[in-house]
Amino acid sequence: MHRALFVQQDVTVHPTSNDFPSPTYGTFMRWRRPVAICTQVALNPTEAAKSAHREPTAPKTLLDTADRRLHDICQGNIMAASLLLPWAAVALLSYLVYQYLNERRRLPLPPGPKPLPIVGNVNDFPPIDMAEHQHWAKHKDLYGPISSVTVLGKTLILINDQQMAHDLLEKFASKTSGRPSMVFANEFCGYDKTVISQGNTEVFRRYRKLMHRELGTKAAAAHYYQAQELEVNRQLVRTLHEPEKWLQHFKTTTAATILKMAYGYIVEPHEPDVLVSLVDKMTTEFSLATVPMAWPVDTIPLLRYIPENTPGVTFKKTARKWRKSIQDAGWVPYRFVQRQMDADSQRPSYVSKLVQQCKNNDTSTLRQDDEEAILWSAASLYGGAADTTVISLTAFTLAMAKFPDIQRKAQEEIDRVIGTDRLPSFDDRDRLPYINAVIKETLRWWPIAPMGFPHTANEELEYNGYRIPKNAILLPAVWGFLHDPNVYREPHSFEPERFLSPRDEPDPTSDVFGYGRRICPGRFIADSGVFINVVQSLAAFDVSAATDSAGESVGIDAKPMPGILCYPAEFPFKITPRSAAHVDLIRRAEKEHPWEASDAPLLET
């Protein structure tokens, strides 16, 4: 989260996407101006409305185009907000004054920077060009292991101590497993059906139960090894033909694997796929819709009652379009599986297995709540796994280019244990301790979500003499935990040996994959997917630093990008086959696993 929580945001483009916005809401958590628009609207609605009409500069890039798009949306929303002011502003300010005076009589919040009257710490959020974890890390030195900031009565709790994070998010899980509530995203767009947006409700627990049944154990994850290995084999072939698209190949492989696992669906092998495009569109819109407090209706819920045809009101029209996207992303692949099952031609998948398990034996029908749980938990798999896996593989590439000695040690283990006449498989994993250590070190060195995924307190609670208000957002400083020099020796170095004897430093996965009831249900699938990609990539290719025109290596800057999900900034590198024998090995894999025809023509969109 950044300064100016109530404004439009930049769209983050990362090196895997060919300048297309990354389709995960965490990558959009950046803010543009240093003053909150809602504060401006509340105090001076006339000036706010005028400000909404100021045209941004002409778009020059896709970033600017996306920025202009959200500017136009925000412009219409501000115009709508001005229709209910000033009386709505008076009500809001009165409520905030009441909250401000009432809080002074309670237990103190965790320490933090001194807030301004009413608006709170609006100026204490990270600047737009700084990763959140780097900004909030200063709070540990300034305020101790737990601190807080408030904006317009909403509290953000920053947890900079690993044990405190486990206490609050695991021991108090019954009280801290909520998600931030968003009127625009959940009520208007319909994203409340997805697992990531669900509060700690009975519906959420039902979704989790199904996902745990099919994905939540190592034994369950093993059922998908064949699909994962096949898609990585094909990734090696793509890389052989187009090595410059190495990072984009990670994204293709991840999409193909998840859609096959979830629906038994085969993507287009050599061109854009209609289902991948549909789901990417939905996740991009989800990213824009779920920016906390970016939409005025989230801060002033009375705006929900403005008629859609009111001049200047755009957020309801936008929500209607985005609601269709989430419905299509859920129902189109689900109905594909239904038709395949009716014809008895389905491939084994998450959906087909659960449908068969949940059908009534007498009527061969599904209860509505079972169908919705299967449908929306499946739709959540893509959004939950796509970017997270790609981030880990991108960080792995960065580490191999930056630390070539580590790559040589890993390849030496593969050659010694497996040889060079075949590609590694899952059966080899227990015999490759250094490769497993490389994967753990990748997760520690570059955690996917440096400030974790936001939890909310379902009720007010007391911790260490401090008050955690109801609906407070709790953020654990995961990056800080995994770079603590008191726990990990030389934490900024990439050293897989730290997880081997005699060092045996703590396993990072207990912090990487979330906490308590919000722990990632697909963590074993994610782990196996990263393993097979890393080990086969190291077996077949060399990753090295790029060179300039003089043949000198180009320096690599491992700069993290802002966002809840943290991609490395673009960095130069090159990919080459290890030898002619390894090229033959890849071509042999292509012959053993020929390309399959896509299922795209069977979709009904």
Out of 89-103, 281-295, 469-483, give the one with best mean pLDDT.
469-483
Calculate the alpha carbon distances from 400 to 480, 492, 564 in Å: 23, 15, 24
Residue 142 lies in a domain: yes
State the pLDDT at residue 85.
58
Residue 466 lies in a domain: yes
Q: Who contacts 417 (Cβ-Cβ below 8 Å, separation ≥6)?
A: 428, 431, 432
- Place 362 in a pLDDT band, splitting at 50, 70 and 90: low
Mean pLDDT of all residues in 511-531: 92
- The residue among 11 and 293 whose pLDDT is bigger is 293
Task: Work out whether the CA dihedral 69, 279, 184, 8 comes out positive or negative.
Answer: negative
pTM of the predicted structure, to 2 decimals = 0.79
Which of 10-14, 139-143, 229-233, 581-585 has the least mean pLDDT? 10-14
| CATH number of the domain enclosing 338 | 1.10.630.10
- The secondary structure of 50-118 as a DSSP string is HHHTPPPPPP-SHHHHHHHHHHHHHHHHHHHHHHSTTHHHHHHHHHHHHHHHHHTTSPPPPP-SPPBTT
- Place 549 in a pLDDT band, splitting at 50, 70 and 90: confident
State the pLDDT at residue 151.
83
Gap between the Cα atoms of 570 and 578, Å rounded: 24
- The structural domain count of the chain equals 1
Gap between the Cα atoms of 566 and 559, Å rounded: 10
Residue 398 lies in a domain: yes
Residue 505 lies in a domain: yes
Residue 6 lies in a domain: no
- Place 457 in a pLDDT band, splitting at 50, 70 and 90: very high
Reduce the DSSP state of residue 475 to 3 states and report it.
strand
Please write the tens of the pLDDT for every residue from 21-30: 333 333 333 3
Which of 37-51, 69-83, 158-172, 210-224 has the least mean pLDDT? 37-51
CB 294 within 8 A of CB 8: yes
Mean pLDDT of all residues in 226-236: 96
**Does 89 have pLDDT greater than 80?**
no
**Does 131 have pLDDT greater than 90?**
no
Residue 91 lies in a domain: yes
Please write the tens of the pLDDT for every residue from 274-314: 998 898 888 778 877 876 666 878 877 888 899 888 888 88
Gap between the Cα atoms of 167 and 154, Å rounded: 22
Gap between the Cα atoms of 334 and 260, Å rounded: 12
State the angle between helix axes of 404-417 and 523-540 in degrees (0 to 180), rounded to the nearest 10. 90
- Written as six digits, the tokens of 150 are 């408030």
- Place 58 in a pLDDT band, splitting at 50, 70 and 90: very low
Mean pLDDT of all residues in 236-255: 94
Please write the tens of the pLDDT for every residue from 135-170: 999 999 999 999 999 987 889 999 999 999 999 999
Find out whether the peptide bond into 86 is cis, omega within 30 degrees of 0: yes
Residue 119 lies in a domain: yes
Please write the tens of the pLDDT for every residue from 400-433: 999 999 999 999 999 999 999 999 999 999 999 9
Is 358 labelled a binding residue?
A: no
Would you give the DSSP letter of residue 123? T
Mean pLDDT of all residues in 529-540: 98
Gap between the Cα atoms of 367 and 369, Å rounded: 6
Residue 12 lies in a domain: no
**Does 41 have pLDDT greater than 50?**
no
**Which range marks the domain in which residue 192 is found?**
25-602
Quote the distance between the C-alpha of residue 405 and its chain's center.
Answer: 31
